[in-house]
Amino acid sequence: MENRIKNDEVELHYIDSNPQDDKSIPLLICPGLSESAEDYIEVMSALLPRRCITFSYRGRGKSSSPDHGYSLDHHVRDIETVVRHFGLKNFHLMGYSRGVSYALSYAINNADYLKSLILAEYPPEHKEMPKGWAKEYLETYWGDKLGFDIMKPHVVMGIEQDSTFINFRLKLHRIKSPALIMRGLLDESLLSEEQAKAYVNELIDGKVEVFEKSGHTLKESETEKFIATLKLFLNNID
Protein backbone atom coordinates (compact mmCIF):
# COMPACT_ATOMS: atom_id res chain seq x y z
CA MET A 1 0.00 0.00 0.00
CA GLU A 2 1.22 3.51 -0.77
CA ASN A 3 -0.12 6.93 0.09
CA ARG A 4 0.89 10.40 1.28
CA ILE A 5 0.85 12.09 4.66
CA LYS A 6 1.50 15.70 5.62
CA ASN A 7 4.31 17.22 7.69
CA ASP A 8 2.98 20.76 7.91
CA GLU A 9 2.93 21.82 4.24
CA VAL A 10 5.21 19.00 3.05
CA GLU A 11 3.61 15.86 1.63
CA LEU A 12 5.55 12.65 2.27
CA HIS A 13 5.05 9.59 0.08
CA TYR A 14 5.23 6.26 1.90
CA ILE A 15 4.99 2.55 1.16
CA ASP A 16 3.59 0.07 3.70
CA SER A 17 4.34 -3.54 2.72
CA ASN A 18 1.84 -5.32 4.98
CA PRO A 19 -0.60 -3.10 6.92
CA GLN A 20 -2.49 -6.16 8.22
CA ASP A 21 0.52 -7.66 10.02
CA ASP A 22 0.05 -7.48 13.78
CA LYS A 23 2.27 -10.40 14.76
CA SER A 24 5.80 -9.17 13.98
CA ILE A 25 7.55 -6.00 15.06
CA PRO A 26 7.49 -3.47 12.17
CA LEU A 27 10.60 -2.11 10.48
CA LEU A 28 10.81 1.56 9.51
CA ILE A 29 13.37 2.25 6.77
CA CYS A 30 15.04 5.67 6.34
CA PRO A 31 16.47 5.91 2.79
CA GLY A 32 19.76 7.52 1.80
CA LEU A 33 20.48 10.97 0.43
CA SER A 34 19.27 10.45 -3.15
CA GLU A 35 17.02 7.44 -2.63
CA SER A 36 13.25 7.22 -2.59
CA ALA A 37 10.76 4.80 -1.06
CA GLU A 38 10.68 2.72 -4.25
CA ASP A 39 14.35 1.79 -3.79
CA TYR A 40 13.36 -0.50 -0.90
CA ILE A 41 10.50 -2.45 -2.48
CA GLU A 42 12.71 -5.48 -3.14
CA VAL A 43 14.01 -5.54 0.43
CA MET A 44 10.54 -5.07 1.89
CA SER A 45 9.10 -7.83 -0.28
CA ALA A 46 11.85 -10.21 0.80
CA LEU A 47 11.11 -9.53 4.46
CA LEU A 48 7.39 -10.36 4.17
CA PRO A 49 5.26 -11.16 6.09
CA ARG A 50 7.01 -8.68 8.41
CA ARG A 51 5.49 -5.24 8.04
CA CYS A 52 7.99 -2.77 6.60
CA ILE A 53 7.32 0.93 6.15
CA THR A 54 9.49 3.31 4.16
CA PHE A 55 9.06 6.78 2.78
CA SER A 56 10.67 9.42 0.59
CA TYR A 57 12.10 12.38 2.45
CA ARG A 58 11.08 15.89 1.44
CA GLY A 59 12.47 16.72 -1.96
CA ARG A 60 12.81 13.07 -3.02
CA GLY A 61 10.77 10.74 -5.17
CA LYS A 62 7.02 11.36 -4.97
CA SER A 63 7.22 13.56 -1.87
CA SER A 64 6.81 17.30 -2.32
CA SER A 65 9.85 19.54 -2.80
CA PRO A 66 9.57 22.74 -0.74
CA ASP A 67 11.66 25.73 -1.76
CA HIS A 68 13.65 25.56 1.49
CA GLY A 69 13.96 23.48 4.66
CA TYR A 70 16.57 20.73 4.18
CA SER A 71 18.45 20.73 7.48
CA LEU A 72 18.97 17.71 9.72
CA ASP A 73 16.05 18.85 11.89
CA HIS A 74 13.74 19.07 8.89
CA HIS A 75 14.57 15.49 7.91
CA VAL A 76 14.11 14.25 11.47
CA ARG A 77 10.68 15.89 11.50
CA ASP A 78 9.84 13.80 8.44
CA ILE A 79 10.68 10.65 10.42
CA GLU A 80 8.63 11.89 13.37
CA THR A 81 5.67 12.51 11.05
CA VAL A 82 5.77 8.92 9.77
CA VAL A 83 6.17 7.47 13.28
CA ARG A 84 3.26 9.54 14.57
CA HIS A 85 1.03 8.71 11.59
CA PHE A 86 1.44 4.96 12.09
CA GLY A 87 1.48 5.12 15.89
CA LEU A 88 4.82 3.31 16.08
CA LYS A 89 6.05 2.80 19.65
CA ASN A 90 8.00 -0.45 19.56
CA PHE A 91 9.70 -0.82 16.21
CA HIS A 92 12.94 -1.55 14.37
CA LEU A 93 14.57 1.47 12.71
CA MET A 94 17.00 1.28 9.79
CA GLY A 95 19.03 4.04 8.17
CA TYR A 96 21.06 3.67 4.98
CA SER A 97 23.89 5.98 3.88
CA ARG A 98 23.05 9.59 4.84
CA GLY A 99 19.75 8.26 6.12
CA VAL A 100 21.87 6.96 9.01
CA SER A 101 22.44 10.47 10.33
CA TYR A 102 18.72 11.24 10.15
CA ALA A 103 17.86 7.94 11.86
CA LEU A 104 20.57 8.41 14.51
CA SER A 105 19.35 11.88 15.42
CA TYR A 106 15.85 10.49 15.83
CA ALA A 107 17.01 7.41 17.74
CA ILE A 108 19.13 9.32 20.26
CA ASN A 109 16.13 11.41 21.28
CA ASN A 110 13.50 8.65 21.06
CA ALA A 111 15.41 5.61 22.31
CA ASP A 112 12.46 4.23 24.28
CA TYR A 113 10.49 3.74 21.05
CA LEU A 114 13.06 1.44 19.47
CA LYS A 115 13.28 -2.33 19.53
CA SER A 116 16.50 -2.23 17.50
CA LEU A 117 18.59 0.02 15.27
CA ILE A 118 20.19 -0.90 11.93
CA LEU A 119 22.78 1.44 10.42
CA ALA A 120 24.32 0.81 7.01
CA GLU A 121 27.38 2.49 5.51
CA TYR A 122 27.72 5.81 7.32
CA PRO A 123 29.71 7.08 10.31
CA PRO A 124 28.09 8.36 13.55
CA GLU A 125 27.88 11.94 12.36
CA HIS A 126 25.94 14.34 10.17
CA LYS A 127 28.33 15.64 7.55
CA GLU A 128 28.56 19.21 6.37
CA MET A 129 28.55 19.24 2.60
CA PRO A 130 31.59 21.15 1.29
CA LYS A 131 30.99 24.30 -0.72
CA GLY A 132 30.51 23.32 -4.34
CA TRP A 133 29.22 19.84 -3.53
CA ALA A 134 25.78 20.59 -4.99
CA LYS A 135 27.26 21.94 -8.23
CA GLU A 136 29.46 18.89 -8.62
CA TYR A 137 26.59 16.57 -7.77
CA LEU A 138 24.35 18.15 -10.38
CA GLU A 139 27.06 18.03 -13.03
CA THR A 140 27.85 14.35 -12.48
CA TYR A 141 24.91 12.41 -11.07
CA TRP A 142 22.62 14.80 -12.87
CA GLY A 143 23.76 13.26 -16.14
CA ASP A 144 21.52 10.32 -15.25
CA LYS A 145 18.13 10.86 -16.90
CA LEU A 146 16.47 9.58 -13.72
CA GLY A 147 18.12 12.28 -11.62
CA PHE A 148 15.32 14.81 -12.02
CA ASP A 149 12.80 12.25 -10.76
CA ILE A 150 14.73 11.87 -7.50
CA MET A 151 15.86 15.39 -6.56
CA LYS A 152 15.27 18.74 -8.23
CA PRO A 153 18.23 21.17 -8.44
CA HIS A 154 16.94 23.46 -5.68
CA VAL A 155 16.72 20.45 -3.35
CA VAL A 156 20.36 19.56 -3.92
CA MET A 157 21.37 23.18 -3.34
CA GLY A 158 19.24 23.30 -0.19
CA ILE A 159 20.87 20.18 1.24
CA GLU A 160 24.30 21.78 0.85
CA GLN A 161 23.21 25.14 2.22
CA ASP A 162 21.46 23.70 5.29
CA SER A 163 24.05 21.06 6.15
CA THR A 164 26.08 21.36 9.36
CA PHE A 165 28.51 18.98 11.03
CA ILE A 166 27.17 17.12 14.06
CA ASN A 167 29.07 14.37 15.89
CA PHE A 168 26.73 11.78 17.42
CA ARG A 169 29.45 9.59 18.91
CA LEU A 170 29.22 10.88 22.50
CA LYS A 171 25.43 10.43 22.50
CA LEU A 172 25.32 6.85 21.23
CA HIS A 173 25.13 5.51 24.80
CA ARG A 174 21.55 6.80 24.98
CA ILE A 175 20.49 4.04 22.59
CA LYS A 176 19.67 1.02 24.74
CA SER A 177 18.40 -1.36 22.07
CA PRO A 178 20.55 -3.81 20.05
CA ALA A 179 22.21 -2.22 17.02
CA LEU A 180 23.52 -3.75 13.80
CA ILE A 181 26.18 -1.86 11.84
CA MET A 182 26.73 -2.90 8.22
CA ARG A 183 29.92 -1.94 6.42
CA GLY A 184 31.45 -2.59 3.00
CA LEU A 185 35.17 -3.34 2.73
CA LEU A 186 35.88 -1.96 -0.75
CA ASP A 187 37.24 1.52 -1.44
CA GLU A 188 33.85 3.14 -2.06
CA SER A 189 32.71 2.47 1.50
CA LEU A 190 31.74 5.54 3.55
CA LEU A 191 32.28 3.76 6.87
CA SER A 192 35.86 3.09 7.90
CA GLU A 193 36.99 0.33 10.24
CA GLU A 194 37.83 2.95 12.87
CA GLN A 195 34.36 4.52 12.59
CA ALA A 196 32.72 1.10 12.83
CA LYS A 197 34.71 0.42 16.02
CA ALA A 198 33.47 3.74 17.40
CA TYR A 199 29.93 2.47 17.08
CA VAL A 200 30.77 -0.73 18.94
CA ASN A 201 32.68 1.12 21.66
CA GLU A 202 29.96 3.69 22.34
CA LEU A 203 26.75 1.71 21.79
CA ILE A 204 25.53 -0.44 24.66
CA ASP A 205 24.81 -3.40 22.38
CA GLY A 206 26.32 -2.95 18.92
CA LYS A 207 27.84 -5.39 16.43
CA VAL A 208 29.32 -5.02 12.96
CA GLU A 209 28.63 -7.12 9.86
CA VAL A 210 31.11 -6.68 7.01
CA PHE A 211 30.41 -7.11 3.30
CA GLU A 212 33.63 -8.15 1.61
CA LYS A 213 32.40 -7.72 -1.97
CA SER A 214 30.82 -4.29 -1.48
CA GLY A 215 31.77 -0.68 -1.19
CA HIS A 216 28.92 1.69 -0.36
CA THR A 217 26.08 -0.05 -2.19
CA LEU A 218 25.56 -3.07 0.04
CA LYS A 219 21.97 -3.80 -0.84
CA GLU A 220 22.73 -3.75 -4.57
CA SER A 221 26.17 -5.39 -4.53
CA GLU A 222 25.28 -8.22 -2.15
CA THR A 223 21.49 -8.23 -2.09
CA GLU A 224 21.08 -11.80 -0.85
CA LYS A 225 23.51 -11.31 2.02
CA PHE A 226 22.00 -7.93 2.88
CA ILE A 227 18.51 -9.42 3.17
CA ALA A 228 19.71 -12.54 4.99
CA THR A 229 21.61 -10.38 7.50
CA LEU A 230 18.52 -8.27 8.14
CA LYS A 231 16.29 -11.32 8.57
CA LEU A 232 18.64 -13.02 11.03
CA PHE A 233 19.12 -9.89 13.12
CA LEU A 234 15.42 -9.01 13.25
CA ASN A 235 14.25 -12.57 13.91
CA ASN A 236 16.74 -13.02 16.76
CA ILE A 237 15.30 -9.94 18.47
CA ASP A 238 11.64 -10.80 17.86
Could you please report the per-residue DSSP string of 11-65? Answer: EEEEEES-TT--SSPPEEEE--TT--GGGGHHHHHHTTTS-EEEEPPTTSTTS--
Domain boundaries of the chain, sorted by first residue: 2-127+165-237
Rounded to whole angstroms, how far apart are CA atoms 231 and 47? Answer: 7
Q: What is the pLDDT of residue 8?
A: 85
The mean pLDDT values, 10 residues at a time, for the chain of 238 residues are 92 97 94 96 97 97 96 98 96 98 98 97 98 88 62 94 97 97 97 97 97 96 98 95
Identify the CATH number of the domain defined by range 2-127+165-237. 3.40.50.1820
Name the strand (E) or helix (H) holding 147: helix 147-150
Q: What is the pLDDT of residue 138?
A: 85
Q: What is the pLDDT of residue 139?
A: 82
Q: What is the pLDDT of residue 114?
A: 98
